Amino acid sequence: MAEIRVQNLRKAFGAFVAVQDSNFVVEDGEFFVMLGPSGCGKTTTLRMIAGLELPTGGKILLGGDDVTMRRARERDIAFVFQLFALYPHMNVRKNIGFPLLAQGMPAAEIRSRVEETARLLRIDHLLDKSVSGLAGGDRQRVALGRAIVRRPKCFLMDEPLGTLDTEFRDLMVHELRELHNRIHATTVYVTHDQMEAMSMADKIAVMNHGVIEQFGTPREIYDRPATMFVADFIGSPPMNFLKFGGGLAKGAKEIVVQGAKVAVPEVREDIAPADMALGIRPEHIRFDDGSKLRGAIYGTEYLGTTQIVAVETADGIIKARVPAGIHLSPGEQVGLTLSSTRLSLFEKGSGRAVRTAMHDQAAEARHG
């Protein structure tokens, strides 16, 4: 196992820049997820780490070795493809043993290693079956088996659950994380599915247009999004934005939104007057008739324990997650109270989050 260090990694296809100066470190044994919409450069980054694409610039270090220009087969990594890439002309046993065969391992040893791996993944009863008859989940397990059988430096996975149906996917998310907890393999996992990312990752990099927008733990990314893109991409429904104007002074604890004063975490930097946005997670909104920030109920979406309520305000619709027990009818006027310690402030032009007490508290908590 090894750490992966990516430095100023860049990839251009002609005029199109797929990956722009990426920097991140995946620590040894970490489960790292690259998350972003399709075309954001996450798969290209993964393929460069694998050696299937060569970077236009930058460096990739694998366990301290510079492998940037090395061939895929010389990197000692394993890759799980979205479509599994199981060889249809070989049975399960041969598929899993295929990487060992390349190393010239004796047949008896291949056999025992393959069987050990199959037991680990609970597919030992399938070893002599043809891969074409397997169910989606089992195909996935065989693909994983082929990856772990060699005990490589790290695992790279490109949307490996993308083609499974929901039922299997939830199961495999659980299994993958469990497997990772057992073997502690450094893993880079690419997905566009935030639920997969949030439930499996130790660290997440959110990418957009070839740029890493934020790198951090799932909690950091959800609670303190670094950009409006991240805030909007993560969460279902995503973060609400209410616009407000004017600058911010260091130490400010209050802003004015739609004529109502809203308490926010203490601002820790000066911001020149510009278009700003207040970011609120749906679960940080409560209904309170005393509040000056008002809207009309537009519709509700019942989810069992909670409900998502769309409220039409002067600045468009915002969504709140409230207990399912509250009865609301469309058109009803409600006041909105926002949970003051959990709000994010963004500069609308750059999309960047304004530094507030929320960030400092998090930093203190981490270091203290």
Partner 1 sequence: MSLTTAHSVVAPSANSKRIAGVIIVAYALISIVPLLWIFATSFKTPPDSIAYPPKLVFQPSLEGYCNLFTTRTRQTPEYINSLGPATGLCDATVRKRNMVIAGPSNFLPRFVNSLIIAFGSTFCAVFLGTLSAYGFSRFKVPLADDLLFFILSTRFMPPIAVAIPIYLMYRELGLSDTALGMILLYTAVNVSLAVWLLKGFIDEIPREYEEAAMIDGYTRLQAFWRTVLPQATTGIAATAIFCLIFAWNEYAFAALLTSGTAQTAPPFIPTIIGEGGQDWPAVAAGTTIFLVPILVFTILLRKQLLRGITFGAVRK
* Residue among 16, 38, 64, 89 that touches partner 1 (CB under 8 A): 89
Give the strand order in the sheet containing 306-313: 285-287, 333-338, 294-302, 306-313, 316-323
Measured distance CA(336)–CA(322) in Å, rounded: 11
| Cβ neighbours around 60 below 10 Å, total | 23
**Span from 30-38, 69-77, 131-139, 194-202 in contact with partner 1 (CB under 8 A):** 69-77
Binding pattern to partner 1, positions 281-310, x when CB under 8 A? ------------------------------
44-63 residues near partner 1, rule: CB under 8 A: 50-52
Q: Provide, rounded to whole angstroms, the least separation between the CB of residue 103 and partner 1.
A: 6
93-112 residues near partner 1, rule: CB under 8 A: 98-99, 102-103
Residue placing its CB nearer to partner 1 in the complex, 117 or 240:
117
Nearest to 44 by CA among 58, 25, 31: 58
256 binds partner 1 (CB under 8 A): no
Q: Provide, rounded to whole angstroms, the least separation between the CB of residue 146 and partner 1.
A: 7
Residue placing its CB nearer to partner 1 in the complex, 13 or 302:
13
Give me the phi and psi of 204, to 5 degrees please.
Answer: -125, 140
150 binds partner 1 (CB under 8 A): yes
73 binds partner 1 (CB under 8 A): yes
87 binds partner 1 (CB under 8 A): yes
Q: Which residues of 282-313 are buried (b: 16+ CB within 10 A; e: fewer)?
A: bebbbbeeebebbbebeebeeeeebbbbbbeb
Residue placing its CB nearer to partner 1 in the complex, 160 or 235:
160
**Span from 67-75, 128-136, 169-177, 252-260 in contact with partner 1 (CB under 8 A):** 67-75
Which CA distances in Å does 154 have to 31, 97, 215, 229?
Answer: 10, 18, 19, 29
Q: Provide, rounded to whole angstroms, the least separation between the CB of residue 86 and partner 1.
A: 9
88 binds partner 1 (CB under 8 A): yes
From the number of C-beta atoms within 10 Å of its C-beta (0-12, 13-18, 19+), residue 20 rates as: middle
Measured distance CA(76)–CA(126) in Å, rounded: 27
- Structure tokens given for 342: 């959990």
Sign of CA pseudo-dihedral 112, 113, 117, 118:
negative
160 binds partner 1 (CB under 8 A): no
**Span from 85-93, 208-216, 271-279, 337-345 in contact with partner 1 (CB under 8 A):** 85-93
Residue placing its CB nearer to partner 1 in the complex, 41 or 99:
99
- Structure tokens given for 127: 């070893």
Q: Provide, rounded to whole angstroms, the least separation between the CB of residue 249 and partner 1.
A: 54
Binding site for partner 1 (CB under 8 A): 50-52, 71-73, 75, 77-79, 81-83, 85, 87-89, 98-99, 102-103, 146, 150
